[in-house]
Amino acid sequence: MNREGHGNFVGAVKPQSMHFDQPLSFRSGTMLREYDLAYETYGTLNADGSNAVLVCHALNASHHVAGWYENEPDNIGWWDNMIGPGKPLDTRHFFVIGVNNLGGCFGSTGPATLNPETGKPYGSSFPVVTVQDWVEAQTRLADRLGIKRFAAVMGGSLGAMQALQWTISHPERVANAVVVAAAPKLSAQNIAFNEVARQAITTDPDFHGGDFYEHGVVPKRGLRLARMIGHITYLSDDAMMEKFGRTLRSGSINYHFDVDFEVESYLRHQGDKFAEYFDANTYLLITRALDYFDPARDSGDNLTSAMAAATARFLVVSFTSDWRFSPERSREIVKALLDNRRHVSYAEVDAPHGHDAFLLEDPRYHALVRSFFEQVHARL
């Protein structure tokens, strides 16, 4: 990402942290007695607290949604092209909140955090978290920030699932929802990819059943593989062909099993980078939260019944080349909303980048989000 020539920016931001000492019970039956949530905010909360927008993150992202850090000018928020003064989600009008989910590895309480009861990292004992649990934790942050009702909850991919869950669990607290590159639940193929990624991690000898911290090692080989397989599913076949083709690293075939093709080099680089900063247990937890997400499950597998509670106005956006969460999956959400006569607009953006398109700056996509938020602002 480039900070020059893209209009206005949030600028330097400071991550914040809030401590919660009221226990949080999880769907799995376990609980955390206390926890911290790392978050960032951009823009200003208005007097009646009505202009707050919660931005939920996907698999490998964090509360660092926009702007950069004073001491790390290259650490730019993951949705900086979407959020800022004059951006589609305009921080001159909205108070935007990014929060790192529980179980994460960017500041919120997670598997690498020291368990106050044992003095050791939670590791394998960290509760299996669900999207519902995350939403409950987010409601507590909202309470503490004085936000009774969000002007909007927004997310892409797993972040979109949180937005959906918000509209079902707390309809009175969500006026609008922006649901991008989403699915109402994972398919068997989606779960299969997650399982391969988890197997890569759990079979790494350095994983130590999830308690690798005390061994002073990191299951980097597993994380690398998990990232590589994940990354393939975020891109479209066309996007990969366009980006790498069959280009050879050294210009000729070397008859070995080291890197020959550019795409191999790219995947290894992505894997290496990821293994340096991401927590293996967090990867397991987040992919599991994806697998378990299925709001229709509690309503007799009927998504229309599940969405009956939702009262928000929705913008649902999918991307034609997204084979991980294809447009058909978004249409399931749209149909459930239509069945309930909810306000919903749905756009299918013809973008070539696959699932990752939701993070990129496609002018049609950004214009839709911008127009939707202009309406949200007008109704404040």
Q: Which residues are marked as active site?
A: 157, 322, 355
State how far the Cα of 78 lies from the Cα of 83, in Å rounded to an integer.
10
State how far the Cα of 138 lies from the Cα of 132, in Å rounded to an integer.
10
**Contact between 372 and another protein (CB under 8 A)?**
yes
**Contact between 380 and another protein (CB under 8 A)?**
no
CB 27, min distance to another protein, A: 31
Nearer to another protein by Cβ, of 158 and 357: the residue is: 357
* Segment contacting another protein by CB under 8 A, of 50-58, 78-86, 223-231, 327-335: 327-335
User: In the chain, which ranges are continuous DSSP H helix?
Assistant: 131-144, 158-169, 188-202, 220-234, 237-243, 262-277, 280-292, 303-307, 327-339, 363-379
What are the CA-CA distances from residue 220 to residues 109, 207, 287 (Å)? 21, 9, 17
Nearer to another protein by Cβ, of 262 and 332: the residue is: 332
**Contact between 310 and another protein (CB under 8 A)?**
no
262-301 footprint of another protein as x/- string (CB under 8 A): ----------------------------------------
**Contact between 359 and another protein (CB under 8 A)?**
no
Nearer to another protein by Cβ, of 180 and 349: the residue is: 349
CB 376, min distance to another protein, A: 10
Q: How many CB atoms lie within 10 A of CB 328?
A: 9
**Contact between 302 and another protein (CB under 8 A)?**
no
What are the CA-CA distances from residue 258 to residues 224, 250, 253, 254 (Å)? 16, 12, 11, 9
- DSSP classification of residue 24: E
What are the CA-CA distances from residue 315 to residues 79, 182, 198, 345 (Å)? 18, 11, 32, 5
State how far the Cα of 355 lies from the Cα of 157, in Å rounded to an integer.
8
**Contact between 79 and another protein (CB under 8 A)?**
no
CB 9, min distance to another protein, A: 25
Nearer to another protein by Cβ, of 14 and 341: the residue is: 341
Cβ–Cβ < 8 Å for 18, 144: yes
**Contact between 319 and another protein (CB under 8 A)?**
no
Site for another protein in 328-357 (CB under 8 A): 331, 334-335, 338-339, 341, 343-350
Torsion, Cα 137 141 142 143, to 10 degrees, reads 100
3-state secondary structure of 318: strand
Phi, psi of 355 (to 5 degrees): -60, -35
Give the bridge partners for 178, in sequence order.
154, 315
**Contact between 17 and another protein (CB under 8 A)?**
no
Give the bridge partners for 154, in sequence order.
55, 178
Size, binding site for another protein by CB under 8 A: 23
CB 52, min distance to another protein, A: 21
Among 28, 44, 254, 371, binds another protein (CB under 8 A): 371
Nearer to another protein by Cβ, of 88 and 103: the residue is: 88
Binding interface with another protein (CB under 8 A): 315, 331, 334-335, 338-339, 341, 343-350, 364, 367-368, 371-372, 374-375, 378
